[in-house]
Amino acid sequence: MSAADPIANLGSLIRCPSVTPAEGGALLALEAMLKPLGFVVERMVASHPGMPDIENLYARLGSDGPHLMFAGHTDVVPPGDEAAWRHPPFSAAIDNGEMFGRGAVDMKGGIACFVAAVARHIEEHGAPKGSISFLITGDEEGPAVNGTEKLLKWAAEKGERWDACLVGEPTNPDLLGDMIKIGRRGSVSGKVTVSGVQGHAAYPHLADNPVRGLLPLADALMSPPFDEGTPEFPASNLEVTTVDVGNTATNVIPSKAQFAFNIRFNDTWTAETVKAEIIRRLDAAADDQTLRPGRDPVRYEITWAERPSHVFLTRNNGLIASLSGAVEAVTGRQPKLSTTGGTSDARFIKDYCPVVEFGLVGQTMHMIDERVALADLETLTQIYGTFISRWFDNAPL
């Protein structure tokens, strides 16, 4: 089997049931594709107390600069109800010009295409005039504790340095060539607990209903808007994601109430300044007596999620132009440069080198019957191949 065939590459990867945290044979399959191309392949196992060990892979072709990294993950989310799939989720079945399988677009398809693009580049032009590496984790769909962040640190401590990175996440909303991600919003999550005094619903003067205190606090976080957006980023947005009282009795005023929230913020803020603004709003709302006339200020506590994601924007014109030009040369479309969507492992890579993201169309990711058009696999391989040539032609020696 030739690694230059993205369809065969993807079939091999999908048939490995690598549901987080299981390696499932996917890294072994990738290693079998890369070694014949001349890559030196290393497997790194990361550990953390209370979490399963995660297998990761790092492979490099070449020893000199410039150095281009391709990053991604072979782990996938669970398939859900397998009986609801048109074809078994790990069969890599081809039906009507599409390949079905968990991970087809998120993101084994991107890995399969980049391997094929490198193989074709070697066949047509020989080894690149620098180095290409694959940084592949098995922990992107999980807690992301034993994955890319630790793999980067491990590789950097061994002396690895990178000039640019392409992450193969599915970035296109509708058609291949729609969108390149050049940054990501930051993300902060937290939980607010409001304390009250339990009592009988018929005797509210003897109790203090925490729900009455919770409502103005939650409202203060959702309105007014945190900002109006920036030229590169949409407006920051906070959503209350859960409200929990834990009260099963309709005639009992509870003793506490909680709500959780998540904010996706642009480069108007840092994780620290957005936290400070959230606390300012909560403190101001705690004095609101609209729903609690004559009461003392609301008593609340806030706990933050351990690891915020920091906002970033890539400004490396050479990297962006090489990828945008490749997309337009192959598809005829000029891709939008975007910072929308959730977080990705690019948030870790940005601390080591400039990073952009481009992959398949993401419409079926994480869904029943996740699938990819075979034509898109060929097109993405051509885009990646053109990008590799353009980047090395323009990269500083």
Where are the domains positioned within the chain? 6-184+311-394, 186-304
Angle at 268 between CA 238 and CA 298, to 5 degrees: 40
> Which residue has better confidence, 397 or 196?
196
Measure the CA–CA gap between 174 and 336, rounded to whole angstroms.
12
- CB atoms inside a 10 Å sphere around CB 96: 8
Q: Is 140 a catalytic residue?
A: yes
For the segment 299-327, the average pLDDT, to the nearest whole number, is 95
Quick check: 241 pLDDT over 70?
Answer: yes
The residue length of the chain stands at 397
pLDDT at 162: 98
Structure tokens given for 12: 């091999």
- Residue 31 falls in the annotated catalytic set: no
Q: How confident is the model at residue 1 (pLDDT cuts 50, 70, 90)?
A: low
Q: How confident is the model at residue 306 (pLDDT cuts 50, 70, 90)?
A: confident
Residue 119, phi then psi, degrees to nearest 5: -60, -45
Q: d(Cα 197, Cα 95) in Å, to the nearest integer?
A: 61
Instruction: Please state, in angstroms and rounded to a whole number, the distance separating the CA atoms of residues 310 and 344.
Output: 11
pLDDT given for residue 394 in this prediction: 87
3-state helix, strand, coil in the chain (%, to 5): 30, 25, 45
Superfamily grouping for domain 6-184+311-394: Zn peptidases (3.40.630.10)
DSSP 143-194: TSSSSHHHHHHHHHHTT---SEEEE----BSSSTTSEEE-EE-EEEEEEEEE
Average pLDDT over residues 230-243: 96
The predicted model gives 274-303 an average pLDDT of 96
Residue 347 φ then ψ, to 5°: -65, -25
| Catalytic position from the list 55, 75, 227, 376 | 75
Q: How far apart are CA 194 and CA 256, in angstroms?
A: 6
Q: Give the residue among 239, 313, 306, 308 at the shortest CA–CA distance from 272.
A: 308
Residue 48 to residues 141, 149, 173, 300, 304: CA-CA distances in angstroms? 16, 12, 35, 32, 20
Is the CB of residue 75 less than 8 Å from the CB of residue 142? Answer: yes
- Residue 87 has what pLDDT? 98
Percentage of residues in the chain with pLDDT exceeding 70?
99
For residue range 206-219, what is the model confidence (pLDDT) as tens digits?
999 999 999 999 99
Kindly report the average pLDDT of the chain as a whole number: 96
DSSP labels, 197-258? B-EETT-GGGSB-HHHHHHHHHHHHHSS-S----SSSPPPEEEEEEEE-----TTEE-SEEE
- On whether the CB atoms of residues 20 and 77 are closer than 8 A, the answer is yes
Q: Concatenated DSSP letters for 323-390?
A: HHHHHHHHHS--PEEE--S---THHHHTTTS-EEE--SB-TTTTSTT-EEEHHHHHHHHHHHHHHHHH
Q: Tell me the per-residue pLDDT of 77-136, one tens digit each, with 9 for 90 and over.
A: 999 999 999 999 999 999 999 999 999 999 999 999 999 999 999 999 999 989 999 999
Give residue 342's pLDDT: 85
Q: Could you report the per-residue pLDDT of 15-44, keeping only the tens digit for each?
A: 999 999 999 999 999 999 999 999 999 999
CATH number for the segment(s) 186-304 = 3.30.70.360
Per-residue model confidence as pLDDT tens digits over 340-384 = 988 899 999 999 999 999 999 999 999 999 999 999 999 999 999
- Per-residue model confidence as pLDDT tens digits over 136-191: 999 999 889 999 999 999 999 999 999 999 999 999 999 999 999 999 999 999 99
pTM of the model: 0.90
Evaluate whether 309 touches 385 at the Cβ level (below 8 Å): no
For residue 302, give both structure tokens.
């806030």
Given a contact cutoff of 8 angstroms between Cβ atoms, the answer to whether 130 and 65 are in contact is yes
Question: What confidence category does residue 397 fall into, taking pLDDT thresholds of 50, 70 and 90?
Answer: low
Report whether 112 contacts 10 (CB < 8 A). Answer: yes
Q: Are 369 and 83 in contact (CB under 8 A)?
A: no
